[in-house]
Amino acid sequence: MKNLVLSAVLGFLPAIAFAGGHADFAGHGTAVRTDMKTTEATAGTHAQVSTSDLWIYDNPPEGFPLAQKADCTYFQVFTTGQQQPSGGSVTCQAVDSDGDISLWNGVFQSNGTVAFSVTTGTGKWAALIGAKFQGKTRHSLGGASVYDFSPLN
């Protein structure tokens, strides 16, 4: 069951990005699993997966980094007998090279994407609080993934 859960969690890993309402602030990222815990119950399984991510922005606005690291924790629930998660959420924290902080929350969607938003930030990230994004896994690599992200607003 742990391998099934890991494959599903990493297969649906989200994307994280930023934007001020500009569709060209998209990018891609990588996630490498650093920890995984599962809890099995009579009606299903809860998975908690932590990753170390690298976000690479295609066209960041002036003053923003071309890339940055993030730490993310994913929570998903799998109903007994189902391979796809019945739901889940993710929280990521990032500190860029200038020392500015951003926190992100996301919810898994039924179409296999993750809807994200910037929940808070300091410095340059403060102006992006509430910005929304969508991410989708491009490749799942058994304990790691590559994903794409783009702004929604």
Supply the pLDDT for residue 112: 86
Residue closest to 148 by CA, chosen among 139, 75, 23: 139
The pLDDT of residue 24 is 56
Q: Answer for the pair 124, 63: CB distance below 8 angstroms, yes or no.
A: yes
CA–CA distance, 145 with 11 (Å, rounded to integer):
7
Digitized pLDDT (tens) for each residue of the chain, 153 residues in all: 444 444 444 444 433 333 344 445 799 999 999 999 999 999 999 999 999 999 999 988 888 899 999 999 999 999 998 888 889 999 999 999 999 999 999 999 988 899 999 999 999 999 899 999 999 999 999 899 999 999 997
Q: What is the pLDDT of residue 34?
A: 98
Q: Is the pTM of this model over 0.85?
A: no
